[in-house]
Amino acid sequence: MSRAHDRGGRWTAAQVPDQSGRIALVTGASAGLGLETAKVLARRGAAVVLACRDIAKAERAAEPIRAQAGRASVHVVRVDLVSLTSVRHAATEIRSTYPRLDLLVNNAGVMDVPYQRTEDGLELTLATNHLGHFALTGLLLDRLLATPGSRIVTVSSLAHRRGVIHFDDLHSERRYDPADAYAQSKLANLLFTYQLHARLQAAGARTIALAAHPGNARTGLWRTSSRLERALLSPRLRLLNAWLAQSAQMGALPTLRAAVDPAARGGDYYGPGGRSEYTGHPTRVASSARSRDPVAQRRLWEVSEQLTGVSYRPLAPAGRG
DSSP, residue by residue, 8-26: -S---GGGPPP-TT-EEEE
Q: Which of 134, 169, 145 is nearest to 309 (CA)?
A: 134
278 catalytic? Reply is no
As separate numbers, helices (DSSP H) first and strands (DSSP E) second, the chain gives 11, 8
Give a yes or no: residue 245 inside a domain. yes
Predicted confidence (pLDDT) at residue 223 exceeds the cutoff of 60: no
* Selected catalytic residue, list 182, 194, 278, 312: 182
Give a yes or no: residue 210 inside a domain. yes
**Core vs surface per residue 284-311: b (16+ CB within 10 A) or e:** bbebeebbebeebbbebbebbeebbebe
Looking at the 3D structure of the chain, how many domains does it have? Answer: 1
CATH number of the domain encompassing residue 99: 3.40.50.720
Mean of all residue pLDDT scores within the chain = 91
Lowest mean pLDDT among 37-51, 61-75, 238-252: 238-252
Give a yes or no: residue 14 inside a domain. no
Give a yes or no: residue 320 inside a domain. no
The answer to whether the CB of 219 falls within 8 A of the CB of 33 is: yes
Confidence category of residue 12, pLDDT binned at 50, 70, 90: very high
Across 57-82, average pLDDT: 92
Q: What is the pTM of this model?
A: 0.91
> Tell me, what DSSP letter sits at residue 277?
G
* Structure confidence at residue 245 (pLDDT): 87
Q: Range of 219's domain?
A: 19-308
Give a yes or no: residue 6 inside a domain. no
Give a yes or no: residue 74 inside a domain. yes
Give a yes or no: residue 3 inside a domain. no
Confidence category of residue 320, pLDDT binned at 50, 70, 90: low
Q: Which of 189, 172, 188, 52 is nearest to 116 (CA)?
A: 172
CA distance 30 to 56: 9
Confidence category of residue 4, pLDDT binned at 50, 70, 90: very low
Predicted confidence (pLDDT) at residue 316 exceeds the cutoff of 80: no
Q: Which of 65, 212, 72, 80 is nearest to 133 (CA)?
A: 80
Across 27-33, average pLDDT: 96
CA distance 67 to 69: 6
Give a yes or no: residue 321 inside a domain. no
